[in-house]
Amino acid sequence: MKLDKDQIDQLKKLISYKGYPQVDVQYEILDHVACKVEVLMEENPKLSLSDAFRKVHASFGIFGFSELEESYVKMISKRLRGYYWEELKSLLTSYRILYPILILLILFQPSNWFQDSKSWILMMIGFVLISFLTIIIRYWRKHNKYKKYASYIASNNVFAMINFGIITCSQSWNFVYNDNSTPDVLFSRIFKGVILSCLCLLFVSIFILPRVLDRSMSDTEELINIYGEN
């Protein structure tokens, strides 16, 4: 037998009650569940949809549908990382690399103006923080539209990177520019080098993250068009 639209909607609600509120996760699970429910109800016409669903859920073991959800989320996260590296490669091999180079040259100018070899660090910290704030403001307005989709929620890793960036900027100030009490030992130099490397990575990421987020939201928009849910 074939499930009708009302039965499909009921299955989605049952999946949601099991702790899977994201629309695309529900459909991913539904792809695996619907056929099994159809078979059970065909074998036993007296079996209700909810009872058939419980039997199918039990057949997945003690973890239920969590493995399906985990597999789907891993696929999304892998795709998002792929977007990052693709955009990084695109940046490094296109004319757009001129933008970060020109901005770096501008940020280095205060070192000559103020005769302070470290002032470029402060300028870069300011640029990174302002850029991250701009990214948050630009994309947060779209949060309510996409928050019901795991495809979008996975992109929150980008915002976690922004949080890491804010911490790195703080550490850059404390341990590189404003820390005169730390002995100039090898460990201190290595630590400062790591902090500066992270700061430079974040600087480059500013020119990549908007494109990564746009691609992630484009994927989510496609899912909205397919599933017809907002």
Segments in the chain forming alpha helices (H): 5-17, 23-43, 49-59, 66-92, 98-113, 119-140, 143-146, 150-153, 156-172, 186-205, 209-227
- For 104-145, the pLDDT digits (tens) are 888 777 666 766 666 777 777 788 888 888 887 887 777 777
Confidence of residue 90 (pLDDT cuts 50, 70, 90): very high
Instruction: For the chain, give the mean pLDDT.
Output: 80
Percent of the chain with pLDDT over 70: 84
Instruction: Confirm if 29 and 70 have CB atoms less than 8 A apart.
Output: no
Instruction: Say if residue 187 is exposed, middle or buried (CB neighbours under 10 Å; 0-12, 13-18, 19+).
Output: exposed
Task: Please write the tens of the pLDDT for every residue from 26-51.
Answer: 888 888 888 888 888 888 877 888 88
| Annotated domain spans of the chain | 5-64, 77-227
Most confident of 158-172, 176-190, 191-205: 191-205
